[in-house]
Amino acid sequence: MTDWHFDVPTTGSKILPPDARSWEALSSQGYDFEVAVADLVDNSVDAGAKDVVIHFLRDGDQLVSLLVVDDGWGMDEAGLDVAMTVGGRRDYGTRALGMFGTGLKSASLSQADSVTVISRTRRSRPAGRRWVMERARSDHRCDIVDADYAQGLLDRYYDRPITWQGTVVRWDGVKDFPKHGGGGQTDRYLNRIIAKLGLHLGLHLHRFLAREDFNITIAVEDVRTGTVYLDYGVQPVDPFGYPISGDPTYPRRFTAPVAGLGDVTLHAHIWTPRSNLDEYKAVGSVMDRQGFYFYRNDRLVQAGGWNKFRQAEQHLSLARVAVDLPFEGGDVFRLTVKKSGVETSPEFAVALEHARGVNGMPFTDYLTAAQSAYREARRRSGPTREAVIPPGKGIPPEVRQVIKEELPVQEYEDPIEIRWQKLDGGAFFDLDRENHVILLNSTYRTAVLGGRRGGINDAPMIKSLLYLMLNQVFQKAHSGPREKDNLQLWQSILVAAARSELDRLADND
């Protein structure tokens, strides 16, 4: 019987190359369009590019291709072969954004029927390769692009952005493009996708875009007329770019001791409550944007999420924690293939429980502070308006309508009616608490109306103001001393105002 403790014994080996169908698996990673384009831009960044142009080509109403063009150091023939090889990669430094050697192929072929790469270095002539999905699938055959075409394509981008070196990646047969672009469909698609792409790149590459000498431009050109429709520079979207901290004692640094890896620094921030900035709101839902922001070599690889440390909740909306991943993330931080998230091991969760700030402040204090900042803001400008007794006769229907839209009303209460009546003693108004009536002294009616005609719905301004001032008073059976004093105060000021109105009316006669 086989002993469980033995290594598996072997009797030899044979080479089993991947079946051509492996291309399908490679191109079915579920990349979203903007995520796939971002993967190409990562390659440009890795090649030291300062200028990246994302170029949509249209022929009238039909979108035809997408090109990503950069002024990075480019590739020679041998470099192109490496680039087109699945898993192929150059030796890159520890600072690179690339990782698995699959991004270019997998991102491109998930989006397009073919991908053409044209490149030149300072020392090599323009050269190119192309993968056509169909052919790749049948026999792994990669096309060698005609040198004149390669030269011609690079010439089109002469000076912007390519002068002596650079790379063009071209997608044809892009699945995301509308099949029939008529009736404004292409324009609508472009507006939507460019906004989405701009935000995605702006967010994930914000640290690069903030640098003076790095730019990404999105442009749309009509191949037939040469008209450039749009030429727009991607703006950085800094997820920590709040105007003022939601808590004056933040941001704070916490140190998480990760077993087997060492200390990881957590930069804990609390956003300005109720912000309308793109940096806070524009990318996905605010709920999804709380939590960890992992950066790998300055590229944002996860934009929010608690990695099982906490559940996302409304009250933690203001909490965002920046974490620069160590060069050697080991098994603790594992980047997903699409670079759309980081998987963290249980050691990270343990380290968070032990994370401390200055004076030994536990990391959980931060969560509490973020929750209070959120709650406090809610309370201060809270949307809870107290219910009122509904407005009734005497207030014009259009005003009553607005009051009911703006305020919760106590439906079961009799509405407050306002009407004119002769009052003794010269008071401006009197209250019939039991019947919910405000009586206005008709002595002052002419003054209030200023010569206009009276009617049941007359004097809407003064009636609305009195309704607002006296609503509270009607909610109680009796007035306390403070309220009594207020009522007296309002009486005497309103009487003075009414007399003043009367004097003015007399002067005008």
Ligand X SMILES: Nc1ncnc2c1ncn2[C@@H]1O[C@H](COP(=O)(O)OP(=O)(O)O)[C@@H](O)[C@H]1O
Give the three-class secondary structure for 362. strand
> Which among 413, 401, 466, 458 has a CA at the least distance from the CA of 439?
466
The distance of closest approach from Cβ of residue 289 to ligand X in the complex, given in angstroms and rounded to an integer, is 27
Tell me which residue has its CB nearest to ligand X.
Answer: 98
Residue closer to ligand X (CB basis): 36 or 174: 36
Integer angstrom CA distances of residue 497 from 117, 381, 444, 455, 493: 82, 33, 10, 22, 6
Tell me the torsion sign for CA atoms 291, 297, 298, 300: negative
Residue closer to Mg ion (CB basis): 105 or 400: 105
* Site membership for ligand X, residue 100 (CB under 6 A): yes
Q: Give which of Mg ion, ligand X, none residue 371 binds (C-beta under 5 to 8 Å, depending on kind).
A: none
Q: Give which of ligand X, Mg ion, none residue 99 binds (C-beta under 5 to 8 Å, depending on kind).
A: ligand X
Q: Which stretch binds Mg ion (CB under 5 A): 102-110, 121-129, 332-340, 378-386?
A: 102-110
The distance of closest approach from Cβ of residue 143 to ligand X in the complex, given in angstroms and rounded to an integer, is 17
> Tokens at residue 263, please?
């200390």
* Site membership for ligand X, residue 297 (CB under 6 A): no
Binding-site member from 50, 89, 310, 419 for ligand X (CB under 6 A): 89
* Site membership for ligand X, residue 354 (CB under 6 A): no
* Site membership for ligand X, residue 279 (CB under 6 A): no
* Site membership for ligand X, residue 104 (CB under 6 A): yes
Q: Give which of Mg ion, ligand X, none residue 102 binds (C-beta under 5 to 8 Å, depending on kind).
A: ligand X
* Site membership for ligand X, residue 239 (CB under 6 A): no
CA distance from start to end of the chain: 121
* DSSP structure class, residue 294: E
* Site membership for ligand X, residue 44 (CB under 6 A): yes
The distance of closest approach from Cβ of residue 235 to Mg ion in the complex, given in angstroms and rounded to an integer, is 23
* Site membership for Mg ion, residue 98 (CB under 5 A): yes
Please give the angle made by the CA atoms of 240, 246 and 250, to the nearest 5 degrees.
75
> Tokens at residue 116, please?
């053409």
* Site membership for ligand X, residue 103 (CB under 6 A): yes
Taking residues 30 to 49 in sequence order and writing x for each that binds Mg ion by CB under 5 A, - otherwise, the string is -------------x------
Residue closer to Mg ion (CB basis): 98 or 246: 98
| Total of residues contacting Mg ion (CB under 5 A) | 3
Binding-site member from 64, 99, 312, 431 for ligand X (CB under 6 A): 99
Q: Which stretch binds ligand X (CB under 6 A): 67-75, 218-226, 303-311, 405-413?
A: 67-75
Binding-site member from 26, 36, 38, 43 for ligand X (CB under 6 A): 43
* Site membership for Mg ion, residue 471 (CB under 5 A): no
Q: Give which of ligand X, Mg ion, none residue 89 binds (C-beta under 5 to 8 Å, depending on kind).
A: ligand X
- For residue 197, which amino acid is it? L
Give the three-class secondary structure for 63. strand
Q: Which stretch binds ligand X (CB under 6 A): 68-76, 147-155, 289-297, 382-390?
A: 68-76
Binding-site member from 50, 57, 90, 501 for ligand X (CB under 6 A): 90
Integer angstrom CA distances of residue 203 from 55, 283, 495: 20, 8, 61
> Which among 263, 258, 210, 264 has a CA at the least distance from the CA of 233?
210
In whole angstroms, give the CA distance from residue 388 to residue 400.
Answer: 12
What is the DSSP track for 430-490? EEETTTTEEEEEGGGHHHHHTTPPP-TT--HHHHHHHHHHHHHHHTSSS--HHHHHHHHHH
- Please give the biggest Cα pair distance in the chain: 121
> Which among 257, 275, 274 has a CA at the least distance from the CA of 266?
257
